[in-house]
Amino acid sequence: MQRKPLTLVQTILMAMALMVVLFPIFWIVMTSIKPPTDWNASPAIWVPSKPTFVNFKTLFDPDAIREYGVGGVSQSATKAVLGSVLASVVSTCISVIIGLFSAIGISRYANGSKATPLIILSGRMFPPAAIAVPFVIMFSALNLIDSYSGLIAIYVAVTLPFSTWMLKSFVDDLPREVEEAAMLDGRSRIMAHLTVTIPLIKGGLFATSMFVFILNWSEFMFALVLSYSNISTIPVQLAKYVTATAGTLYGVQAALAVLAMLPLVIVGYFIQSHLARGMTFGAIKQ
């Protein structure tokens, strides 16, 4: 089906929408390369005349920004970056593996009652602020506060409904006959799923992994209430770049925000064809 070209009005509206959506990104990128003297300039400086990478350098060398007469940053972002990578990657792998076998069980064998899928989905119905305190109390009793084990556990618990439902939609799209043919060839049920089902939905598996990674990478509430001194993540570190002497370190915050956005932009590019399915928990069939 041939698409109709956009009218002049539609083109103008599209351009205006893009400007509104992309302006915050433009401002963050420009602020990340501004020297401290330009952060609070009045009138605002849109594009710095002398761009610098001192803000990025300050993320890993807290004293680098002192050359501009600004007090050094109290904490390096190295721990936060490594913490985000560790927690996001490990929790994504665990969530997708458990969600995959849960999806196969629900789709192929209808394990549990008819309410099981709804019970699983209910885990995504509660706002993080409502369940953060109960998790803190429970994790305190288990000595999981301020540990990557606790952070990974809660990331898995929060994203598991998402990975289960999204993967279930991919398994539902796969004809049962391909698995039955594998079993007729002598494979067991589990081997049929491992050698037939999973390879055939590898595209959906990759897309689900990327969606879950995005959720984990950008999560703030649970990381904030579960971290103190031993662990940190990028969203939490962003809130820490406020000092009594220098005020809010806008340029350093912007530099860390740019680093945080890069993986999301790359991941979003690769899964753009699955965005509609992911945003609707797999309800849209392709």
Mind listing the domains of the chain with CATH numbers?
Answer: 87-228 (1.10.3720.10)
The Cα–Cα gap between 228 and 213 comes to: 23
Rounded Cα–Cα distance for residues 105 and 100 (Å): 9
Question: What's the length of the chain?
Answer: 286
The SS3 of residue 51 is coil
The structure tokens listed for 155 are: 């990331």
Structure tokens given for 234:
């990028």
Taking a C-beta distance cutoff of 8 angstroms, is the pair 225, 136 a contact?
A: yes
| Contact present, 145 and 180 (Cβ < 8 Å) | no
> Residue 139 corresponds to which tokens in the numbers above?
């994790």
Write down the number of H helices and E strands in the chain.
14, 2
pLDDT at 277: 53
Residue 81: the pLDDT is 92
C-alpha to C-alpha distance for 207 and 268, rounded to whole angstroms: 10
The position carrying tokens 């698409």 is 3
Which pLDDT belongs to residue 50? 86
Q: Is 61 exposed, middle or buried (0-12, 13-18, 19+ CB in 10 A)?
A: middle
Q: Tokens 């970056």 label which residue?
A: 81
Query: Do residues 41 and 251 lie in contact, with contact meaning Cβ atoms separated by under 8 Å?
Result: no
Contacts of 252 (CB under 8 A, 6+ apart): 55, 58, 59, 65, 73, 241
Predicted pLDDT of residue 173: 85
The whole-number pLDDT of residue 6 equals 78
The CA distance from 33 to 49, in Å, is: 10
Tens place of pLDDT for every residue, the chain, 286 residues? 567 787 888 889 999 999 999 999 999 999 999 998 888 888 888 988 888 999 999 889 888 887 777 766 777 889 999 999 999 999 999 999 999 998 988 888 875 566 777 777 777 777 777 888 888 888 888 888 889 999 999 999 889 988 998 898 888 888 888 888 888 888 888 888 888 888 888 888 888 998 899 999 999 888 888 888 888 899 988 887 765 444 568 888 899 999 999 988 888 887 776 655 544 544 444 4
pLDDT at 87: 94
Q: Which tokens belong to 275?
A: 């965005």
pLDDT at residue number 1: 52
CB neighbour list of residue 201: distance below 8 Å, 6 or more residues apart: 167, 170, 171, 173, 174
